[in-house]
């Protein structure tokens, strides 16, 4: 692949071009290799289910509260697995939108949504999104892939209604350099909070979720059990049938976490600014 592909393409010829957000992996290779793997991770198969992907999705939607009848955007929707849950949450009176530049991702999202009889509007570039349009935006595990983080946060601000809420999740930095070669950067929790506070949205809440110990145990294959991933099976069964994270269920209080979740709001002061700018 030559050069650095863009997360968001420019506007079509003849329209105003919005500055692109650049990333390492717009043509995210996992989709070509593995298909709609996020749908499998939140499905009901005992092995293919991924308890912590499912937990991250649950936490992301839970902080938004009831979404029935609202307009919600999944910014960087990938194969549409989280978008599918958003479709169900907004119901028939709401609108679900997904944005991604990967042709493979949008093709898979469109196919899987149709297969599950879910309706969403899919977008290839941010210029297609209206200003002050969405009640809520989720940006799940996307921000670590981009070079121009400030421009991504600017996109969220532009598209949110005044008073609207955005939820951003990203891995917590645990190593000197990101272990995932597709990640441009990762942040310690304090660094990430500082970054968000300097942006255009108000930081309402910042949580650390998904214990590191749980993930280590999740992939453990003990010789005593013939290298069968017994903890993974336990976690998956609890996630599928109980909709809970295993360590939360066991009342463990870990000190080190894998993922951070931030809740942001477009302030009411932006309402008067939006009105003043309107023709």
Question: Which of these ranges, 90-104, 198-212, 216-230, 251-265, has the smallest mean pLDDT?
Answer: 216-230
Between CA 96 and CA 53, with CA 139 as vertex, the angle to 5 degrees is 95
> What confidence tier does 272 reach under pLDDT thresholds 50, 70, 90?
very low
- Both tokens of 44, joined, read 């009901």
User: What mean pLDDT is predicted for residues 229-253?
Assistant: 73
| Sign of torsion over alpha carbons 176, 79, 231, 227 | negative
Q: How many CB atoms are located within 10 Å of the residue 54 CB? A: 22
- Chain centre distance of CA 115: 22
Predicted confidence (pLDDT) at residue 82 exceeds the cutoff of 50: yes
17 vs 79, residue with greater confidence? 79
> What's the N-to-C CA distance of the chain in angstroms?
44
CATH assignment of 29-206+258-274, among 3.40.50.150, 3.40.50.410, 3.30.1490.20, 3.40.50.2300: 3.40.50.150
Residue-wise pLDDT tens digits, 17-43: 455 455 545 446 777 778 888 999 999
| Of residues 250 and 33, more confidently modeled | 33
- Per-residue pLDDT for 12 more than 90? no
Distinct helix (H) and strand (E) counts, the chain: 11, 7
pLDDT number for residue 247:
59
Residue 87 has pLDDT above 90, yes or no: yes
| Residue for token pair 């991924």 | 50
- 39 and 79 in contact (C-beta within 8 Å)? yes
Question: For 54-68, 105-119, 249-263, which range has the lowest pLDDT when averaged over its residues?
Answer: 249-263
What average pLDDT does the segment 252-258 reach? 74
Domain edges within the chain: 29-206+258-274
- What is the percentage of the chain residues whose pLDDT exceeds 70? 80
What is d(CA 114, CA 136) in angstroms, rounded to the nearest whole number?
23
**Is 142:76 a contact under the CB 8 Å cutoff?**
yes
Res 11 pLDDT > 50: no
Q: Please give the DSSP secondary-structure letter assigned to residue 34.
A: H
Segment 51-55 mean pLDDT: 86
Give the integer Cα–Cα distance in Å for 60 and 88. Answer: 14
Q: How far apart are CA 165 and CA 181, in angstroms?
A: 30
pLDDT band per the 50, 70, 90 thresholds, residue 246: low
pLDDT in tens, 108-155: 999 999 999 999 999 999 889 999 999 999 999 999 999 999 999 999
């Amino acid at each position: 692949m030559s050069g650095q592909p863009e997360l968001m393409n420019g506007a079509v010829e003849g329209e105003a071009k919005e500055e692109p957000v650049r990333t390492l992996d717009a043509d995210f290779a996992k989709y070509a290799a593995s298909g709609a793997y996020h749908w499998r991770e939140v499905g009901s198969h005992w092995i293919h289910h991924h308890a912590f992907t499912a937990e991250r999705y649950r936490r992301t939607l839970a902080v938004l509260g009831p979404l029935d009848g609202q307009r919600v955007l999944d910014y960087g929707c990938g194969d549409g697995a989280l978008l599918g849950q958003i479709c169900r949450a907004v119901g028939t009176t709401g609108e679900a939108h997904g944005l991604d530049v990967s042709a493979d991702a949008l093709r898979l999202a469109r196919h899987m949504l149709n297969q599950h009889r879910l309706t969403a509007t899919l977008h290839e570039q941010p210029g297609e999104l209206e200003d002050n349009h969405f009640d809520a935006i989720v940006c799940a595990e996307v921000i670590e892939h981009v070079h121009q983080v400030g421009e991504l946060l600017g996109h969220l601000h532009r598209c949110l209604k005044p008073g609207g809420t955005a939820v951003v999740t990203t891995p917590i930095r645990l190593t000197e350099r990101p272990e995932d070669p597709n990640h441009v950067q990762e942040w310690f929790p304090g660094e990430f909070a500082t970054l968000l506070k300097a942006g255009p949205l108000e930081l309402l809440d910042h949580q650390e979720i998904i214990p590191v110990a749980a993930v280590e145990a999740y992939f453990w294959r003990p010789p005593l059990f013939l290298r069968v991933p017994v903890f993974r099976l336990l976690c998956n069964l609890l996630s599928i049938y109980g909709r809970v994270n295993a360590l939360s269920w066991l009342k463990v209080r870990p000190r080190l976490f894998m993922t951070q979740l931030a809740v942001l709001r477009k302030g009411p002061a932006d309402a008067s600014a939006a009105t003043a700018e309107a023709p």
